[in-house]
Amino acid sequence: MWVYEKKLLYPVEVGTCNPTLAKYLMEQYGGADGELAAALRYMNQRYTVPSKVIGVLNDIATEEFSHLEMLATMIYKLTKDATPEQLVEAGLGAHFVNHGHDLFYENANGVPFTATYIQAKGDPIADLYEDIAAEEKARATYQWLIDVSDDPLINDSLRFLRERENIHSLRFRESVELLKDERDRKKIF
Amino acid sequence: MSAFEEEREMMLRVQQADFVVVELTLYTDTHPDDAEALGQWREAIKEAAHVRRQYENRYGPLSLASVPTEQALEIGWRWNSTPWPWQR
């Protein structure tokens, strides 16, 4: 189970209302390499992996939910005061017609989230390689977001998230090595 | 410092202390035999609990794992009180 903590993992502050930037950030909210995909992927894989790597999947999945909350906070703050005209101008007219000012799990192009973004292969090495790739793709996406964003406050939060993807990738790569060591030891006996 | 800034400063300290725990937990997940890291991890949890108590004594519980003070309830604090994290 989980207990909610009434705080963000890392501060999220916003310069000005900026629905264009919010639209781009949706890529990491409900996109293929986004935080929802990451959280759901790891949370689902943790049940059947060898015990040595359950902790990594459990704890990174939990952290991804806190990243999802940071993204939601950015998108909410960047759009809450936007007029319908500003949303249309930012390319969020279709979003507004369907969802009003609500958030939705969709990518920057408005494509809704789908479980087909993620996989569970029944093979821990294959799954961990997918997880490493997911972290690297998320890291790259954060870099592109920083490149197109002109909000220094948002960029501070995005840089934090980009660095976390690096750490997660590293921990998953170490997990692969732990499993390979275990496999090789079994062969000796 | 305004009351708003003071609260934000204390919240930042909680976020920093909790982050050290998050980071060391992930590290010890894949380095279970690193005695030095395990020591740092224990200390980080102690420090995070200490900083959290300081915050919660002034501003109310951050989770339902903490007991609200009677004084907080008397002055109207409720779990449902704003701001929620995205409203700050």
pLDDT per residue as tens digits for the range B28-62 = 999 999 999 999 999 999 999 999 999 999 999 99
Q: What residues in B contact A3, CB-CB < 8 Å?
A: 63-65
Q: pLDDT confidence of A58, banded at 50, 70, 90? A: very high
* Residue A60 touches partner B, C-beta closer than 8 Å: yes
CB A76 to CB B14 under 8 A?
A: no
Q: Using CB atoms within 10 A of its CB, is residue B29 exposed (0-12), middle (13-18) or buried (19+)?
A: buried
DSSP character at residue A125: H
What pLDDT sits at residue A123? 97
* pLDDT(A189) > 70: no
Contacts with B84 from chain A: Cβ below 8 Å: 6
Report how far apart, in Å, the C-alpha atoms of B8 and of each of A151, B21, B85 are.
20, 20, 11
Quote the crossing angle between the two packed helices A19-30 and A54-79, to the nearest 10°: 160
Beta-carbon contacts below 8 Å between A and B: 61
Q: Structural domains in chain A?
A: 19-188 (1.20.1260.10)
**DSSP readout, B54-67?**
HHHHHH--SSTTSP
**Is the per-residue pLDDT at A186 higher than 90?**
no
Q: Which of A59, A76, A77 sits opposite B25 (nearest CB)?
A: A59
Residue A59 pLDDT grade (very low, low, confident, very high; cuts 50, 70, 90):
very high
Q: What is the C-alpha to C-alpha distance for residues A72 and A85, in angstroms, rounded to an integer?
A: 22
Nearest Cα neighbor of A53 from A138, A166, A61, A188 is A61
The yes-or-no verdict on residue A188 having pLDDT over 80 is no
Q: What is the pLDDT of residue A17?
A: 98
Contacts of A153 in chain B (CB under 8 A): none
Q: What does pTM read for this prediction?
A: 0.96
**pLDDT band at A75, cuts 50/70/90?**
very high
How confident is the model at residue A183, as a pLDDT? 87
Q: Which helix (H) or strand (E) is A17 found in, with range?
A: none
